[in-house]
Amino acid sequence: MLPKLSLILGGASSGKSAFAESLVVQSEAPRVYLATAQAFDDEMRTKIAAHLRMRGSDWRTLETPLTAAQALKAISAEEVVLLDCATMWLSNHLLAESDLAHETSQLLLALSNCKARVVVVSNEVGLDVVPDNALARQFRDAQGKLNQSIAAQADFAALVVAGLPMVLKGVMP
């Protein structure tokens, strides 16, 4: 049984989204995909299209680059949610010069109060070199704090490396 809140971490192209999607699919509940990416260039449009093909047509997709917290409030208990991904959501807010503390607290509250089971995908960004500019360091630090906060709330957390999930917290669903 899929827990109330799961966090799936990994690096870029680690297989974290595919693993998270497999967790949601095996729940057999109606699926909601909270999409946080924005297609600003052809490369991102191609990546988003590939994710859509991989998921198939039996998902309800909500575009939530800045509004994941609000969207979570409207999800029914019978559904299961995949928020993919917290990293893009945070980047969008950072670039929009949002109040990150406020937006993060709203997201954490929405995750806690969501009636549905939720799987959150996020990048682990703390395993690399220290970024060479202030904006990148601000992002890395904010992402690390966001991941820690979601992990603290989560019933299940896994780190995906080379397509292989390693359980960090809880029991593999």
Q: What are the residue numbers of the active site?
A: 51
Q: What angle do CA 95, 163, 63 make, to 5 degrees?
A: 35
Nearest 10 degrees: Cα torsion 25, 39, 151, 12: 90
The DSSP bridge pattern shows strands 5-10 and 117-123 to be: parallel
Evaluate the CA torsion angle 133, 135, 139, 142 in order and state its sign.
positive
- The span from the CA of 87 to the CA of 17, in Å, is 12
What distance in Å separates the CA atoms of residue 171 and residue 1, rounded to the nearest whole number?
10
The sheet with strand 5-10 has its strands ordered as: 59-63, 31-35, 80-84, 117-123, 5-10, 156-161, 164-169
